[in-house]
Amino acid sequence: MKAAILAGKERFEVKDVKRPRCQEGEVLVRVRACAICGSDLRIFHGEKSIDVPIMGHEISGTVEEIGEGVKDIALGDRVVIETVVGCGDCEPCKRGEENHCLNKFEAIGHQYNGGFAQFVLVPKRAVKQGCIIKIPENLSFDEATLVEPLSCVVSGWKPIRTEEGFTVVVFGAGIIGMLHSELAKLKRAKVILVNRSAPRLELAKRIGLKVDQFIDLSKVDLVKKVRELTGGKGANVVVCACSSRETQRQALEIAAVNADISYFAGISKTDPLNEINTNLIHYNELHVHGANSSSRKHYVEAIELISAQRINVKKFITHRFPLEKIEEAIRMLEDRQTNALKVVIDPWI
């Protein structure tokens, strides 16, 4: 089979490698599409390490081979593959919260070979957990690659309180910030999308993103503007969907009393400390939440949202590339001049 092997910093080698064979409890999936994620970019640039040569975790495809003992999965099933693989033994895993695994979960495309190949082998532990999730016929394989990022967004919203007409500020006009915005609108929020520059905001407008107000950080006093738009109260929910220290600080400053704040995106693990005014949390009784990946139940919810067209993800898919051009695909995704949002790799073209 063809596979894009990560051969070093910023270098892939696309070559023929031995196709995996199923052992007991395993499942082989024919990859029909695998989208490039922001974490893939960090891996490509050597900022994040993985334990395997084949990355890629936003995967959709069909079941090609089934190992002995596997039940409820049939050849030809159309599926997505959950990224997170928990230990299966700790209390969170037993509750179906494998992204909270106490024994440090593993991941497809990180500890197990991923989807930048024609086939991906799903290990026994992942199959047992239920990581192979069927998708309906009306969901294209390209659209299904958005299930993984949307599942993370769905997971991030679980601790957040919502009510009719509440105001949400989303920092970051990348694909994750856009998905947060769409989900917030489904929850009947007034949504304010904030970005550090105008081009991404203009792109969001062109694709018809469901947002009430766009704010270019380079042109306004954010705290003053948000207070103005909310009658002086501040935002009821603030989502930090970009890796920025300043954003994490500003989130506290624009939040209303008793607001929810999601630190959805982290900052550098090599320099993770941030100076924030904790008195804002104390006196305004703010609720600050973290967010880390997702579990099977969030995938199921994301599939339902997309297949029912409650969130139309087609508008986010801007480019498709063959496996041989994966480096070009990454460069395009990083080049803001190309207006690339979600770039999909098809290993069969």
How many domains does the chain divide into?
2
Q: What is the mean pLDDT of residues 122-138?
A: 98
In this structure, the answer to whether residues 252 and 201 fall within a common structural domain is yes
Please tell me the predicted confidence (pLDDT) of residue 270: 87
In this structure, the answer to whether residues 260 and 205 fall within a common structural domain is yes
In this structure, the answer to whether residues 182 and 63 fall within a common structural domain is no
Computed over every residue of the chain, the mean pLDDT equals 97
| DSSP code per residue over 239-299 | EE-S--HHHHHHHHHHEEEEEEEEE-S---TTS------HHHHHHTT-EEEE-----HHHH
Q: What is the mean pLDDT of residues 107-136?
A: 98
Residue 336 has pLDDT above 90, yes or no: no
Containing structural domain, residue 61? 2-146+313-346
Treating both helix axes as pointing N-terminal to C-terminal, what angle do 222-229 and 245-254 enclose, rounded to 10 degrees? 40
Tell whether 134 is covered by a domain: yes
Q: How many CB atoms lie within 10 A of CB 337?
A: 7
Please tell me the predicted confidence (pLDDT) of residue 269: 86
Q: Which pair of structure tokens corresponds to residue 40?
A: 């893939």
Tell me how far apart the alpha carbons of residues 247 and 242 are, in angstroms, rounded to a whole number. Answer: 8
At residue 226, what is the residue type?
V
In this structure, the answer to whether residues 29 and 8 fall within a common structural domain is yes
CATH number of the domain residue 65 falls in: 3.90.180.10
pLDDT bracket for residue 45 (50, 70, 90): very high
In this structure, the answer to whether residues 178 and 92 fall within a common structural domain is no
In this structure, the answer to whether residues 230 and 281 fall within a common structural domain is yes
pLDDT digits (tens, 9 = 90+) for 46-96: 999 999 999 999 999 999 999 999 999 999 999 999 999 999 999 999 999
Tell whether 66 is covered by a domain: yes
In this structure, the answer to whether residues 120 and 239 fall within a common structural domain is no
In this structure, the answer to whether residues 54 and 106 fall within a common structural domain is yes
More confidently predicted of 197 and 74:
74
In this structure, the answer to whether residues 19 and 96 fall within a common structural domain is yes
Please tell me the predicted confidence (pLDDT) of residue 315: 97
Tell whether 174 is covered by a domain: yes
Q: What is the mean pLDDT of residues 214-228?
A: 97
Positive or negative torsion for Cα 237, 152, 33, 36? positive
Cβ pair 278, 253 in contact under 8 A: no
Q: Which pair of structure tokens corresponds to residue 5?
A: 């092997």
On the 0-12 / 13-18 / 19+ scale of CB atoms within 10 A, 226 is buried
Q: Which pair of structure tokens corresponds to residue 6?
A: 């990560």
Tell whether 58 is covered by a domain: yes
pLDDT bracket for residue 257 (50, 70, 90): very high
Tell whether 271 is covered by a domain: yes
Q: What is the mean pLDDT of residues 20-37?
A: 98
Tell whether 46 is covered by a domain: yes
Tell whether 113 is covered by a domain: yes
Tell whether 307 is covered by a domain: no
At residue 74, what is the residue type?
A
In this structure, the answer to whether residues 8 and 118 fall within a common structural domain is yes
In this structure, the answer to whether residues 164 and 91 fall within a common structural domain is no
CATH number of the domain residue 253 falls in: 3.40.50.720
Cβ neighbours of residue 84 under 8 Å, at least 6 residues apart?
Answer: 98, 99, 101, 105, 106, 107, 131, 293, 294, 295
Please tell me the predicted confidence (pLDDT) of residue 109: 98
In this structure, the answer to whether residues 275 and 170 fall within a common structural domain is yes
Positive or negative torsion for Cα 88, 90, 92, 98? negative
Please tell me the predicted confidence (pLDDT) of residue 128: 98
